[in-house]
């Protein structure tokens, strides 16, 4: 514990919560632009799960960029615990919805005060007053209703009300008298983690107290390492991170779980001792079991016929999950396992971060499970093996669709399917900096075709790092509608610049297919 005289003011840590589609992501994006140091230092471009802005007044605010859907509620619960203030986003045209209520409960149980951001007030059917009245039912009394909770009307789209919102955050932070001792060994919480092929395990941590330094020995969950490098949200190397600052940490020996605590220790021996113990306790918990049937439909058909439960009794639907970041893998695992009913238990035999390899497919074969791929792709060998052995790989980029699909199949419902049609891949050969257009990728279409107006994803090491649209598709100097396999072309993304040589661009189309009983 720290003595009062060592405590110094620190920035507030703010989490944005609310119902899906009410504008959390848009608001976080808009708030990024309230930062005044972006001009000279380069904008906040890296997605590291959190970022800090500096206001015109010099005050700083740290925003946790936790994902929005209900599937993430467990992470959000943790987010709320690392959080001083919760911004509750409620769309003025939609009002209080189930996840709004959930968010209120998280905030309350974490003891974090709420600021209501009534969003989308630009819409013609916006009814901000209704939102405030509805909130009364959930014990959130805004100031206009005689309560204590501040509420601000904003439009993330039109970027209105943002100054008032940040000023409200600062005012509340001042009342909360947030302090920490910067002069001690650091501790804090892991926000996000991933395995980066070039950089190894990368964890984004939020420093709670103390100062995290390059060279420190850190234990995070069951992982440890000497901090090789610290990166801020601008992609810049930094030597230290103060309380309430988010940074990417390089140098750990594996990817810790989001929500894990991290702490700086004084020796490698101590770090090993702690992590060895944690790894041992973790390993005792799980292990895959073998059984046949490798597509989702097959597996469920088998379950309907009478099941194949290993130890009699309960039927089991198993999955192998690969995802882009630890947080999504965890959220998917929990959501899938929550789908368990009295008759069928859903179990994830392996949940891991990274692209799908041959060994993942091997495991799926031996365990008799389909593979669920969230924002990751299979490499060539893995695809071939899966094809040969009839292992189904289901690709998703939206957790809600994934859960819905599995749920519908589990319950035997036949809802229309949102099917993605793969159009093609293009390899980025070279990246050009065009002063007006920004970064343009010189590509060769390596498979299928690319088409203007279709969806595109940017893949790095088989992991999806961006999804969006093309702002340009060119052959030589001309805009063209389509480019086929083997041809070269120039492509640029709308509002996205982080493209690199060696990345792949995936092109796809979405259609709704009515499913029928056979
Ligand atoms: P999230 O699911 O809460 O992260 O919501 P998003 O930020 O993805 O926004 C959902 C949709 O609402 C998107 O189509 C946004 O463009 C739109 N949206 C977000 N904020 C506003 C706003 O202030 N006004 C209007 N008109 N639309 C908005
Ligand atoms: Mg969102």
Question: Residue 297 to residues 176, 255, 342, 404, 412: CA-CA distances in angstroms?
Answer: 54, 33, 20, 14, 10
- Torsion angle defined by CA atoms of residues 507, 513, 516 and 518, in that order, rounded to the nearest 10 degrees: -20
b/e per residue 487-502 (b: at least 16 CB within 10 A): eebbbbbeebebbeee
Closest approach atom of ligand 1 to CA 119: 23
Q: Which ligand has its closest atom nearest to the C-alpha of 67?
A: 2
Ligand 1 center–CA 157 separation, angstroms = 7
Residue whose CA is at the smallest distance from ligand 1 atom 10? 21
State the pLDDT at residue 302: 64
> How would you class 319 by CB atoms within 10 Å of its CB: exposed for 0-12, middle for 13-18, buried for 19 or more?
buried
Chain Cα centroid distance, residue 252? 20
SS3 54: strand
State the pLDDT at residue 230: 97
Ligand 1 center–CA 457 separation, angstroms = 20
State the pLDDT at residue 143: 94
* Backbone φ, ψ for residue 358 (5° rounding): -60, -40
Judge whether 21 counts as a catalytic residue.
Answer: yes
DSSP state, 15?
Answer: E
- Of the candidates 15, 19, 22, 24, the residue annotated as catalytic is 24
Judge whether 24 counts as a catalytic residue.
Answer: yes
State the pLDDT at residue 234: 84
State the pLDDT at residue 300: 64
SS3 415: coil
Residue 429 contacts by C-beta under 8 Å, 6 or more apart in sequence? 442, 443, 444, 488, 501
Best of 21, 123, 468 to mutate for ligand 1, by most ligand atoms within 8 A of CB?
A: 21
One-character DSSP codes across 18-40: ESTTSSHHHHHHHHHTT-SSHHH
State the pLDDT at residue 475: 92
Judge whether 69 counts as a catalytic residue.
Answer: yes
Please report, in tens digits, the pLDDT of each residue of the chain (518 residues total): 888 889 999 999 998 888 888 998 889 889 988 777 665 555 665 666 789 999 988 999 999 876 543 334 444 444 446 789 999 999 999 999 988 887 887 787 677 899 999 999 999 999 999 999 999 998 899 999 999 999 999 999 999 999 999 999 999 999 999 999 999 999 998 888 888 888 889 999 999 999 999 999 999 988 999 999 999 988 889 999 999 999 999 999 998 877 788 999 999 999 998 888 777 765 554 433 333 456 776 666 666 555 443 334 456 778 899 998 888 898 899 888 888 776 677 888 888 888 898 888 888 887 778 899 999 999 888 988 888 888 889 888 888 888 888 887 766 544 445 567 789 999 999 999 887 778 899 999 999 999 988 889 999 988 888 888 888 899 988 999 999 999 999 999 988 889 999 999 999 887 766 554 43
Q: Which ligand has its closest atom nearest to the C-alpha of 16?
A: 1
Ligand 1 neighbours by CB, cut-off 6 Å: 18, 20-26, 68, 119-120, 122-123, 155-157
Distance CA 331, CA 338 (A): 10
Asked if 356 and 323 touch (Cβ cutoff 8 Å), the reply is: no
Closest CA to 95 of 127, 141, 136, 137: 127
């Amino acid at each position: 514990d720290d003595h009062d005289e060592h405590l110094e003011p620190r920035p507030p840590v703010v989490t944005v919560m609310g119902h899906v589609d009410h504008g959390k992501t848009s608001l976080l994006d808009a708030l990024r632009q309230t930062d005044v140091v972006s001009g000279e230092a380069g904008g906040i471009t890296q997605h590291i799960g959190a970022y800090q802005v500096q206001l015109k007044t010099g005050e700083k605010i740290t925003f946790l960029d936790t994902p929005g859907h209900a599937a993430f509620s467990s992470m959000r619960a943790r987010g709320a615990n690392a959080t001083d203030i919760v911004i509750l986003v409620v769309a003025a045209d939609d009002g209080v919805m189930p996840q709004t209520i959930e968010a209120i409960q998280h905030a309350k149980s974490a003891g974090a005060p709420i600021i209501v951001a009534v969003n989308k007030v630009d819409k013609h059917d916006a009814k901000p007053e209704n939102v405030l009245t509805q909130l009364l039912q959930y014990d959130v009394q805004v100031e206009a209703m005689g309560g204590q909770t501040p509420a601000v009307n904003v439009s993330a789209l039109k970027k209105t009300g943002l100054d008032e919102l940040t000023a409200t955050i600062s005012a509340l932070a001042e009342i909360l008298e947030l302090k920490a001792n910067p002069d001690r060994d650091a501790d804090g919480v892991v926000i996000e983690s991933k395995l980066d092929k070039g950089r190894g395990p990368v964890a984004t941590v939020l420093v709670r107290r103390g100062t995290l330094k390059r060279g420190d020995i850190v234990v995070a969950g069951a992982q440890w390492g000497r901090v090789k490098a610290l990166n801020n949200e601008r992609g810049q190397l930094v030597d230290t991170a103060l309380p309430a600052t988010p940074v990417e940490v390089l140098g750990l020996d594996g990817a810790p779980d989001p929500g894990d605590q991290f702490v700086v220790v004084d020796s490698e021996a101590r770090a090993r001792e702690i992590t060895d113990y944690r790894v041992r306790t973790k390993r005792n918990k799980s292990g895959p079991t073998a059984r046949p049937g490798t597509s989702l439909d097959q597996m469920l058909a088998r379950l309907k016929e009478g099941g194949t439960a290993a130890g009699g009794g309960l039927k089991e639907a198993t999955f192998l999950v690969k995802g882009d970041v630890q947080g999504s893998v965890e959220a998917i695992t929990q959501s899938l396992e929550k789908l368990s009913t009295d008759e069928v238990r859903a179990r994830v035999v392996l949940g891991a971060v990274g692209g799908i390899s041959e060994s993942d497919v091997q495991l799926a074969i031996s365990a008799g499970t389909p593979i669920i791929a969230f924002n990751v792709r299979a490499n060539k060998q893995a695809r071939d093996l899966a094809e040969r052995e009839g292992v189904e790989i289901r690709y998703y980029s939206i957790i809600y669709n994934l859960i819905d699909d599995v749920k519908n199949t589990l319950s035997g419902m036949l809802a229309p399917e949102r099917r993605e049609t793969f159009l093609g891949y293009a390899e980025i050969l070279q990246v050009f900096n065009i002063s007006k257009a920004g970064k343009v990728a010189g590509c060769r279409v390596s498979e299928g075709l690319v088409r203007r107006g279709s969806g595109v994803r940017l893949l790095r090491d088989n992991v999806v790092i961006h999804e969006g649209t093309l702002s340009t598709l060119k052959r030589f100097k001309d805009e063209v509608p389509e480019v086929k396999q083997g041809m070269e072309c120039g492509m640029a993304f709308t509002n996205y610049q982080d493209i690199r040589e060696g990345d792949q661009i995936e092109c796809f189309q979405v259609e709704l297919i009515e499913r029928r009983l056979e």
